[in-house]
Amino acid sequence: MTGKPRIGFVGVGHMGHGMASNILRGGYDLMIRGNRNRAPIDSLTGMGAHEADSLAEMAVACDIIFLCLSNSPQVEAVIRGAEGLMANGRPGLIVVDTTTANPVSTEALAAELEASGMHMVDAPLGRTPKEAEAGTLDAMVGAAPDIFSKVRPVIECWAGSVTHLGPVGAGHKMKLVMNFLGTGYAALYAEAFTMGARVGLAPQLIREVIGGSRMGCGFFDTYTQWVCDRNRDAHVFSLDNAAKDIGYVCLMAQAAGMANPMSASIRNAFASAVAQGKGADYMPMLADHVASLNGVDLGEEVKRGRG
């Protein structure tokens, strides 16, 4: 490993475990910092990773540190905290944030790190934990060209597709555009299946017609594996996370000074489900929430359609 940078990784959950394990397979010395769940930490240390006792220890020891967290406040705490990366990192430290985050926060953190002689990269992710384990995620990267050249070999350990979109913040902006479309599909599908049920069309009939048409896609396929087959794990992304993401989309639109009627409506659809205690449910389960508002049980509609 001579000549290779030492890598840190904060947040080794559903996505982070696969990413970190592929960094290890790439031959990098890896230091990790997890949360209460010991299973992924024990798994990675068993592969040769070192567990940091604190963020400060990691900041001192590492050259590049990846973050894979839930939201911007968590990222801000890791970077700005008294025991965090900015207070303890060496000049030249590169922080790569793979969280789906608020670009306004990202750009502010990048400026603060730069003033301290450090650098920030945003590299949010496309695809799922399955691709994280396989090392075939999509990476959308915002970084200065010279910094991108330093982090790209490490990102390529866990990404099958790496796109440099521009300066810091560009990656998070692109991810929000992507998640705007994803949450939009989810909200449209939820209403479409409810509408179909109310007019006498079983969910599986809608899947058969739409799935084989120009409007079919991978998202529709995994979505309908829940609606029609009740496969809970077909699309593992919580309504809490989706609501957070579409909220960031609306904040980005507001910062850009644009009218955003569609994203505002989508945000309300997810906020309604979360407000009624459905936040831990997965994205396709929004369909059940919308159906229930209209007196429809989609599971029963599927059974009825089989009869």
Give the catalytic positions in this structure: 175
- The CA radius of gyration of the chain, in Å to the nearest whole number, is 21
Q: Which of 84, 74, 89 is nearest to 119 (CA)?
A: 89
Q: What type of residue sits at position 84?
A: G
Helix 218-227 × helix 203-211 angle, to 10° = 170
Q: Are strands 94-97 and 64-67 parallel, antiparallel or unpaired?
A: parallel
**Where do the DSSP E strands lie in the chain?**
7-10, 30-33, 50-51, 64-67, 94-97, 119-122, 125-126, 137-142, 159-166
Q: 102-123: b or e for each residue (b if 16 or more CB lie within 10 Å)?
A: bbbbbbbbbeebeeeebbbbbb
Q: Which of 240, 109, 124 is nearest to 175 (CA)?
A: 124
